[in-house]
A and B are shown apart, each in its own frame.
Chain A
Amino acid sequence: MSLTTAIDDHRLDATFSALANATRRAILTRLAEGDATVNELADPFDLTLPAISKHIKVLEQAGLVVRGHRAQYRPCALNAAALVEVSSWAEHHRRTWQERFDRMDDRIKQRANRGRDRTR
C-alpha cells in the first residue's frame, strides 16, 4: 500500500486535472451511458478526431477511461472505480498522512535512542 501511495497521489492529481475540462467531462458523461468508439465520441463535438483523441488520452492517463484491445475500434469505457476513488480525496490523503506520521514517530524515537546512547 505505502509503496503505491505516491503513485496514487500523482494519479489523483492527474484525475483532478483531467476533470477540469468541459469537453472531457462531457465525454465521461457520454461514456456513463455506455461504451463508445472515438468516432462516436467525436460526433457531438465540433472537434477533429485528433483533438478528441488527445482528450481521451488525458482521461486514459488519469485512469478515468479504459480502452478495449479488440479490433481497430478500441471502444472507450468509463472506469467508475477511479471516480469513486477521487470522490474521497480527503479519505485518500488521510491514509497517506497516517503512514507519514507513523514514520515520523519512528524517526523521533530513533533520535531519542541515539541521544540516550550518547549520554550513557
Chain B
Amino acid sequence: MSDATRTDEAVVMERQFDAPADVVWQMWIDPDEFSSWYGPNGASVYVVTWELRVGGARLVRMTVPTPRGETTMWFAGEFLDVVENRRLAYTEYVSDENGNPASTSASGMPKPHPTTEVRVALSEVNGRTTMVMTHVGIPADSPGAAGWTVAFDKLATHLRGHPAS
C-alpha cells in the first residue's frame, strides 16, 4: 500500500458509527448489505461476483433510472486487502458484464477506463466504530493519468477567459 506511485487525487473520509466494528464490516463485505447502501437512491445494485479474499474478483451491476430509460453499468475489480473487522481494500473500474475493462475505442486503440482504489480502515472503541475510507484516483503511472496531467496543463491556459457555459 505505497502512496509513492499515486497522485494526490484522493478522497479521505472519516465517519463514526454507533455500532461495533463487526457490524460496519458486514456493511462492506456482505453483498446484501453492500447493495443496500452503495447505489444512489432509485438505483438497484446487484453483486454478481464477490470473492472475498486477497486477489479475489468482484463484479457489481448497477441499474439506474434515467429520463431516457434504465442504464445498466458494471464495475469490476479485485480485493487487495481483507482483514476481518479491521481493513478492506479493493480496486474498481468500469467494465462489461464479464468484468472485462470497458474501453472507449475511438481510433482502434482501446483505452481502459481508469482503475481507482478504495481502502477502508475500522477501529472500535467502547462499541463505537471509527471508519476511515480512502478513495484513490487515477494511479500516477497509468496512461490515463499522464494524459490527464498534460490535458490540464495545456487546457488551463486556453480556458482562462473562456466562459464556463
Q: Is A20 an interface residue (CB 8 A)?
A: yes
Which single member of B33, B66, B135, B150 contacts A7 (CB below 8 Å)? Answer: B66
Knowing A7-B66, A103-B37, say if A55 contacts B154 (CB, 8 Å).
no
Instruction: A83 to B157: give the CA distance in the assembly, Å.
Output: 13
The answer to whether A10 and B94 have CB atoms under 8 Å apart is: yes
Residues of A within 8 A of B158 (CB): 29, 32-33
Cβ-Cβ contact count across A and B, 8 Å cutoff: 146
The answer to whether A83 and B155 have CB atoms under 8 Å apart is: yes
B7 — nearest CB in chain A belongs to which residue? A89
Residues of B within 8 A of A10 (CB): 71, 73, 94
Instruction: A117 to B36: give the CA distance in the assembly, Å.
Output: 21
The answer to whether A90 and B106 have CB atoms under 8 Å apart is: no
A78 — nearest CB in chain B belongs to which residue? B162
The answer to whether B10 and A90 have CB atoms under 8 Å apart is: yes
Chain A residues 12 to 51 lying within 8 A of chain B, measured CB to CB, are 13-14, 16-25, 28-29, 32-33, 47, 51
Q: Is B29 an interface residue (CB 8 A)?
A: no
How many whole Å from B140's CB to the nearest CB in chain A? 14
Q: Is B151 an interface residue (CB 8 A)?
A: yes
Residues of A within 8 A of B146 (CB): 20
Knowing A6-B73, A84-B164, say if A100 contacts B113 (CB, 8 Å).
no
The answer to whether B106 and A58 have CB atoms under 8 Å apart is: yes
Residues of B within 8 A of A87 (CB): 152
Instruction: A112 to B27: give the CA distance in the assembly, Å.
Output: 13
The answer to whether A21 and B106 have CB atoms under 8 Å apart is: yes
B113 — nearest CB in chain A belongs to which residue? A13
Knowing A17-B144, A23-B107, A54-B106, say if A97 contacts B13 (CB, 8 Å).
yes
Taking Cβ atoms with an 8 Å cutoff, the residues of A that contact B are 2-7, 10, 13-14, 16-25, 28-29, 32-33, 47, 51, 54-55, 57-58, 61, 78-81, 83-84, 87, 89-90, 93-94, 97-101, 103-109, 111-112
28 contacts between A and B (CB under 8 A): A4-B40, A5-B40, A6-B43, A7-B64, A10-B94, A13-B113, A14-B104, A16-B114, A16-B144, A17-B103, A17-B114, A18-B104, A19-B147, A20-B143, A20-B148, A21-B107, A25-B150, A25-B151, A28-B155, A32-B159, A61-B104, A79-B165, A80-B159, A84-B164, A94-B13, A100-B37, A101-B13, A108-B19
Taking Cβ atoms with an 8 Å cutoff, the residues of B that contact A are 9-11, 13, 15, 17-19, 23-24, 27, 33, 36-43, 62, 64-66, 71, 73, 94, 103-104, 106-107, 109, 111-114, 131, 133, 135, 137-138, 143-144, 146-148, 150-152, 154-155, 158-159, 162-165
